[in-house]
Structure 1
Amino acid sequence: MGGFPILTVMTFLPLAGAFLVMLVRSATAGGKGNGGAEAGKTVLLAGVIISAATFAASVAAFATFDRDQAGYQLVEQYAWYGPISFKLGVDGLSLSLVLLTTFLTPICLLASWNSIEKRVTEYVIAFLVLETFMIGVFVSLDLVLFYIFFEAGLIPMFLIVGIWGGKDRVYAAFKFFLYTLIGSLLMLVAMVYMIIAAGSADFEVLEKFTFDPGVQTWLWLAFGASFAVKLPMWPVHTWLPDAHVQAPTAGSVILAGVLLKMGGYGFLRFSLPMFPDASAYFQPAMFALAVIAIVYTSLVAWRQTDMKKLIAYSSVAHMGFVTLGIFSFNETGVQGAIFQMLSHGIIASALFLIVGVVYDRMHTREIASYGGLVNRMPIYASFFMLFTMGNVGLPGTSGFVGELLTMVGGFQAATWAAAGAALGVIFSAVYMLTLYRRTVFGEITNPALAGIKDMNLIEWVCIAPLAALTLLFGFAPNLIFNFTDSSTLRILSMMAGGQ
């Protein structure tokens, strides 16, 4: 593609599209409120098209990417202010997460076709702006630029939960905002120190700069505070179930599919290569927190009566496997962690869409309100079964590959940690199969379910691609491994060279 700034275009295309949506709203609604249902559909369609174009741009970036090259590619750099520059670039790790982001966003907007009826224009704008900020996090190669994108993403997500969420949406939105903001303020202080010490905010410069081991400890803690909340890790995970339950379906999808992955990405991009001594020092503690997250939140998930809250706690447990893999400090574990992030992004997103299908019909997420859905919704039950098996980690699904490799990598580093994590696999089967049995099998006992209809075309279009990827990556995991292998080895080599 020569000198074409594909990353800049890809990053800011959704933001430009947000302005276009405003024009569409004005043209169709004549400036009156939301312009009615027809205008709302037009705005949603515009959002889907813009986000689909962004996905096409990310595919174009993928097509030019050399998977055998370990360093950053498609680099764009423009002078900004002093040691700070507008620098973008990707490696296998970041581009894989960009592809996940751009793939899920049009699905989120399409899934909102029938569920969002108020302030549709503002809703679409919030999602498109959020997409720009999420992509920006993964393509930034400058500390200040990364921080701007990382923090700016809080605003549209805060609005999505706080305006279009459930009855306790304001409480959940503020809890989400405050948890993530407080952790990130510590990271900002650490960033200022790093820029002064190294004389640059450039990632490539900072990766080669050696910080004193004592200083590394404090820098690691400051960054870790932010990433732990974002991942989220126990015990700073309590904002997640509230945010998931109150968020609209699409909000839950993007929260589980992308925003949680920023924590794992941060540990891999900053903690391991830039603070290797501190990462090694905190390894046992991270293993302990990962095992607690896996076991404790799995048990909590089992006792939930709300489908969304159950899947939310399940997400915390699965992110525990990501933590285990990252801090195993070996290729198997780190590759497994990256694979698990991508796999969870697909499966968890699908499960929230699955819940959204019946919620749009019944307006309740209580497990007790369902039962016997297979009698009226056989196609729905089939998709639900596939994603249940993926979440459990059944061989043949992408969920199996990620969990297995993180445990193998963890076993090489600490047998006790892998043994503890293995309990989570058992517990996940318990709570997911219990959920499936209670909602899908048996006879219909709730009279309101007698007339419930199976999935419509839009729901098919949203969920079928996720089902295909769950199976594709389950049977052909090398499609991801071959793409991320060079980046993984580079991260581990920087860590080994810095200790």
Structure 2
Amino acid sequence: MLLWLVFLPVIGGFIGWLCHVCLQRGVVSVNVQIRWSKLPIIVAFITICITLLMTIILWIDAVNVLNQGENWIKEINLDWIPLLGIHFHLVLDGLSMVVITATLFIVLLTIVYSSKESLNNLGLFYLCLLFMTSAIMMLFVIADLFLMFFFWEAVAIPIYFLISLWGRRDSSSQLRFNGASKFLIYTQLSSLLMLISIVSLALINWNLTGHWTFDYQVLTKTPISSDTEFLLMLGFLAAFIVRIPFVPFHGWFIEAHMESSTTGSMMISGLLLNTAAFGLLRFVIPLFPNASIMIMPIMLVLALLTIVYAALVAFNQTDIKKLIAYIHIALMGFVTAIIYSGSVVAYQGVVIQMIAINLAIVGMFIISGLLGECYSTRNITQFIGLKERVPYLSSFTLYFILAVLGIPGTANFVGNYMMLLGSYSTFSFYTIFLVIGLLLLSISFIVRMQPIFYGAVDKGAAPKYLLSKKDLLLLSSTLIVLIFIGLYPQVVLDMSYSVVNQTQQYITTERVGE
């Protein structure tokens, strides 16, 4: 069932693409082509619904497995390249269950919203979208480092096409490919460093044991010197901080959002950034616990600089998508800093916040798309009288702004509270600076967004814009999930506890050893 879970989306994507090709090549009559022109989105929607249903069934099984003291819910371990000890090794645990469920929910929202956009070549579009979904889900269950690198690179392919083929149309074609090219260059250079670290770690283990393996559970037990461990960790860290993204490696992220459609922005913010935070928890800390402690001061400083820089730059933004992108960068910097605290409470807060941030940011991108439809611009200074112009949208906008900032009753509040509570016991002085950074971020976001709610509206020139039932469903469902996790976070905490507790043990063991 685990194989079906991770490969079903890409299978559905290929089926939708083949249906679109058959329709376009005149295999059927013109009337049938028109009637079934939306077939790719129907196939994509049904595929994700089935995959989400499988996830719910596995979630129920996971509760029983974890109650029995087991860490792994499902496991697949097949030989792939025996000569090099490379296995097709997948492990589904509590943390994977949480992030996969959140991923599928966001993809479902994205598919529904994409039906509003005028997209060419629908078959290829949904193939890219579902291929990206499968690749990211694979990253969440992989236990072989070579396989992890394979799918880490694979994720970049659909994102490149989502930006370049279905992004903003400009008079200059060179500008249209700028964000996609930047993303590809940043990813390739940083991933090359990670590949060198992966091969070096496997080679060190081979010299010690005489056996090739890329299994990260085995490699965590490989004895290496402190200097070597630090250098190998830098290779992994280079790949992850580019996708988090840390300042000054955030240029691709801003350009990608500026040039992407709303659907593309939802996929990039909702799915891609979580892979980097997950990678820090899953791979960097277990493989390099001593080096993680050594680099912690540097990472904390870089994270704080990222938060402050993004918050200050957000003050001057007039493009709403650019503003949301900088807010997201700051929030991910905050999450990254807490990952180095080594506290179980903080780690559980990180898991909740990984879900909450992405849902809130996806909600804000949906709102940015609706505002663009209503005002025919993305310039915030042109958004006047939202309360009168678009009924209900002002309420949703205010809610998601406050959710991003972490008000009580939302999942963001629970995540922030647990992260700060856990990190305070590890680095109390630094936590105070983090709180100040979050306050600065809150001020900048409110200052930029508050003026859009009021103002004089010329009723003759600007008729009311009514949200469709689809718009209300998208915003309401996202809102309900954030409130549900905010009021009942235990369902997520119980599922992820065993994994984050094990991750915390790597840090604790090294600190005791010192």
TM-score interval for Structure 1 and Structure 2 normalised by the shorter chain = over 0.9
* Aligned partners of 2:269 and 2:358 also within 8 Å: yes
Q: Deviations over 1:385-428 (max 9, x none)?
A: 11111011111111112222222223222233212211232223
Instruction: Determine the C-alpha separation between the residues in 1 that align with 2:115 and 2:222.
Output: 49
Deviates more, 1:276-285 or 1:291-300: 291-300
**Partner residue, 1:232:** 245
Deviates more, 1:421-430 or 1:322-331: 421-430
Q: Deviations over 1:259-315 (max 9, x none)?
A: 101111111111111101100000111111111111111111121001010010000
- Structure 1 counterpart of 2:134, from 132, 141, 144: 132
- Which amino acid in the other structure matches residue 80 of structure 1? W
* Aligned partners of 1:324 and 1:406 also within 8 Å: no
**Partner residue, 1:3:** none
Corresponding position: 1:48 with 2:32: no
- Which amino acid in the other structure matches residue 140 of structure 2? F
Instruction: Determine the C-alpha separation between the residues in 2 that align with 1:120 and 1:435.
Output: 35
Alignment of 1:137-286 (within 5 A): 137-166=139-168, 167=170, 168-198=175-205, 199-286=212-299
Instruction: Determine the C-alpha separation between the residues in 1 that align with 2:328 and 2:235.
Output: 24
Structure-2 change in CA distance of 1:21 and 1:58 (3 Å): same
**Partner residue, 2:58:** 61
Structure-2 change in CA distance of 1:488 and 1:447 (3 Å): farther
Structure 1-normalised TM-score? 0.94
Instruction: Determine the C-alpha separation between the residues in 2 that align with 1:275 and 1:250.
Output: 36
Instruction: Determine the C-alpha separation between the residues in 2 that align with 1:32 and 1:314.
Output: 48
* Aligned partners of 2:23 and 2:33 also within 8 Å: no
Corresponding position: 1:21 with 2:20: no
Q: CA RMSD in A?
A: 2.0
Alignment of 1:354-373 (within 5 A): 354-373=367-386
* Aligned partners of 1:398 and 1:477 also within 8 Å: yes
- Which amino acid in the other structure matches residue 486 of structure 2? G
C-alpha deviation, 1:231, in angstroms: 0.8
- Say which SS state the counterpart of residue 143 (structure 2) adopts: coil
**Partner residue, 2:498:** 486
How many corresponding residue pairs? 493
Alignment of 1:69-468 (within 5 A): 69=69, 71-82=71-82, 83-166=85-168, 167=170, 168-198=175-205, 199-444=212-457, 450-468=462-480
- Say which SS state the counterpart of residue 328 (structure 1) adopts: coil
- Which amino acid in the other structure matches residue 41 of structure 2? L
Deviates more, 1:194-203 or 1:66-75: 66-75
* Aligned partners of 1:37 and 1:117 also within 8 Å: no
- Which amino acid in the other structure matches residue 342 of structure 2? F
Instruction: Determine the C-alpha separation between the residues in 2 that align with 1:64 and 1:180.
Output: 36
Structure-2 change in CA distance of 1:126 and 1:214 (3 Å): same
Instruction: Determine the C-alpha separation between the residues in 2 that align with 1:398 and 1:409.
Output: 17
- Which amino acid in the other structure matches residue 439 of structure 1? I
Instruction: Determine the C-alpha separation between the residues in 2 that align with 1:206 and 1:329.
Output: 21
- Say which SS state the counterpart of residue 85 (structure 1) adopts: strand
Instruction: Determine the C-alpha separation between the residues in 1 that align with 2:178 and 2:322.
Output: 16
- Say which SS state the counterpart of residue 413 (structure 1) adopts: coil
Instruction: Determine the C-alpha separation between the residues in 2 that align with 1:497 and 1:235.
Output: 33
- Say which SS state the counterpart of residue 267 (structure 1) adopts: helix
Instruction: Determine the C-alpha separation between the residues in 2 that align with 1:362 and 1:169.
Output: 23
Q: What percent of counterpart residues are identical? A: 28
* Aligned partners of 2:16 and 2:39 also within 8 Å: no
* Aligned partners of 1:274 and 1:495 also within 8 Å: no
Structure-2 change in CA distance of 1:67 and 1:244 (3 Å): farther
C-alpha deviation, 1:226, in angstroms: 0.4
C-alpha deviation, 1:447, in angstroms: 6.7
Deviates more, 1:377-386 or 1:404-413: 404-413
- Say which SS state the counterpart of residue 177 (structure 2) adopts: helix
C-alpha deviation, 1:209, in angstroms: 2.6
- Which amino acid in the other structure matches residue 112 of structure 1? S
* Aligned partners of 1:25 and 1:43 also within 8 Å: yes
Structure-2 change in CA distance of 1:37 and 1:357 (3 Å): farther
* Aligned partners of 1:391 and 1:428 also within 8 Å: no
- Say which SS state the counterpart of residue 116 (structure 1) adopts: coil
In structure 1, the gaps of 5 or more residues are 1-5
**Partner residue, 1:10:** 5
* Aligned partners of 2:21 and 2:123 also within 8 Å: no
Structure-2 change in CA distance of 1:37 and 1:162 (3 Å): farther
Structure 2-normalised TM-score? 0.91
Structure-2 change in CA distance of 1:451 and 1:262 (3 Å): same
C-alpha deviation, 1:445, in angstroms: 5.4
Structure-2 change in CA distance of 1:386 and 1:32 (3 Å): farther
Q: Deviations over 1:433-490 (max 9, x none)?
A: 2333222222225975x22422212212222211001111112222211111111111
Instruction: Determine the C-alpha separation between the residues in 2 that align with 1:36 and 1:322.
Output: 48
Q: Deviations over 1:199-252 (max 9, x none)?
A: 311122123333322211011100000000111112212211111121111111
Instruction: Determine the C-alpha separation between the residues in 1 that align with 2:21 and 2:191.
Output: 37
- Which amino acid in the other structure matches residue 241 of structure 2? A
**Partner residue, 2:209:** none
Instruction: Determine the C-alpha separation between the residues in 1 that align with 2:57 and 2:25.
Output: 37
* Aligned partners of 1:70 and 1:91 also within 8 Å: no
Structure-2 change in CA distance of 1:31 and 1:187 (3 Å): farther
* Aligned partners of 2:73 and 2:94 also within 8 Å: no
Instruction: Determine the C-alpha separation between the residues in 2 that align with 1:447 and 1:162.
Output: 38
Deviates more, 1:15-24 or 1:180-189: 15-24
C-alpha deviation, 1:495, in angstroms: 3.1
Deviates more, 1:306-315 or 1:102-111: 102-111
In structure 2, the gaps of 5 or more residues are 206-211
